[in-house]
């Protein structure tokens, strides 16, 4: 980071402040993805199936813990939770 800041005439403390600000802003934004509900494939017990990139499927039972699901999705998508 020091070399980058020196090369671009930036103070390191300003760089880290902006990086923190951008990370906070990105964490607050909610991403929306397209969803298709297929009634003919509905599970009678309320289980949801999420199809991820690369064809991976995740089955989520009724009454799941949202925080745990967020962390699991972050791991599957190789992002920090």
Q: What is the pLDDT of residues 24-77, one digit of tens each?
A: 877 776 666 676 766 666 667 778 888 877 777 888 888 888 888 888 878 877
Rounded Cα–Cα distance for residues 12 and 1 (Å): 7
Give the per-residue pLDDT at 55.
Answer: 76
pLDDT for 73 equals: 79
Enter the pTM of the model: 0.39
How many Å apart are CA 50 and CA 21, to the nearest integer? 31
Q: Measured between alpha carbons, how far is residue 13 from residues 2, 25, 68 in Å?
A: 10, 18, 34
Residue 64 confidence (pLDDT): 86
């Amino acid at each position: 980071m020091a070399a980058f800041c020196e090369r671009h005439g930036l103070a390191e403390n300003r760089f880290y402040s902006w990086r923190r600000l951008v990370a906070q802003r990105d964490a607050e934004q909610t991403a929306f993805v397209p969803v298709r509900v297929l009634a003919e494939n509905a599970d009678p017990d309320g289980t949801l199936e999420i199809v991820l990139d690369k064809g991976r499927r995740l089955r989520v039972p009724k009454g799941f813990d949202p925080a745990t699901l967020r962390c699991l999705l972050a791991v599957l998508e190789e992002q920090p939770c």
